[in-house]
Chain A
Amino acid sequence: SQQGEEDPQALSIQEGENATMNCSYKTSINNLQWYRQNSGRGLVHLILIRSNEREKHSGRLRVTLDTSKKSSSLLITASRAADTASYFCATVDMFSGGYNKLIFGAGTRLAVHP
């Protein structure tokens, strides 16, 4: 079953603009991860934020985590056409027994127009 909701389901912006995607989840987690998927391809890991972290940066990516609200956001700054893809948040349940299976949201489909 899906972990939670992602918002928005679809986002269309112009190159150079920032894109913000939100993710909510339901359980207590070890960490939350963001992945990107280009059409017809596998998922590429972008960034991982641990449950005791509140914010993390990687290049043009900024992720926040609010465990009290069970939510996270992914910000892509100065977007490029090559950022066009689906973005998924995924959580590792704190009580997963060490198996580390990922529980994914339904994703946000981002379109960046030149």
Chain B
Amino acid sequence: DTGVSQDPRHKITKRGQNVTFRCDPISEHNRLYWYRQTLGQGPEFLTYFQNEAQLEKSRLLSDRFSAERPKGSFSTLEIQRTEQGDSAMYLCASSLSPDSNQPQHFGDGTRLSIL
């Protein structure tokens, strides 16, 4: 169990650029979640995958955001035409069981700063 891995840890980019983040979940986990966390706040749910299927998207996920999980393994989150308000920590989590009484395992996140 190597834990959830996220890459990069930090990303600084200019407004209007596209960025892509990667998440590698714990290998046997079939559920993968993306959250966004702004300074001083708790994480907010963005989207969720069961295997390769994206089953739920938050209203926070505008058309500029897209997430994929090809082959049900790693996942990518892309933000197009970044805006100042996109500056945040993007967290990925995974879990094994469909049982809701299982914890989610989080990566250390990607901190995005928009100049």
Q: Which residues of B contact A101 (CB under 8 A)?
A: 33, 45, 48, 56
Interface size class of B (residues with CB under 8 A): 20 to 34
Is there an interface contact between A48 and B101, defined as CB atoms closer than 8 Å? yes
Q: Which residues of chain B in 29-60 are interfacial with respect to chain A, using CB atoms and an 8 Å cutoff?
A: 31, 33, 35, 40-45, 48, 55-56
A73 in contact (CB, < 8 A): no
A-B contact count (CB 8 A): 69
**When A42-B106, A100-B31 are in contact, do A92 and B44 touch as well, CB less than 8 Å?**
no
Interface size class of A (residues with CB under 8 A): 20 to 34
A24 in contact (CB, < 8 A): no
A102's contact among B55, B104, B109, by CB below 8 Å, is which?
B104
B2 in contact (CB, < 8 A): no
Is there an interface contact between B43 and A104, defined as CB atoms closer than 8 Å? yes
List B residues at the A interface (Cβ < 8 Å). Answer: 4, 6, 31, 33, 35, 40-45, 48, 55-56, 91, 93, 95, 98, 100-109, 111
List A residues at the B interface (Cβ < 8 Å). Answer: 1-2, 30-31, 33, 35, 40-45, 48, 50, 88, 90, 92, 96-107
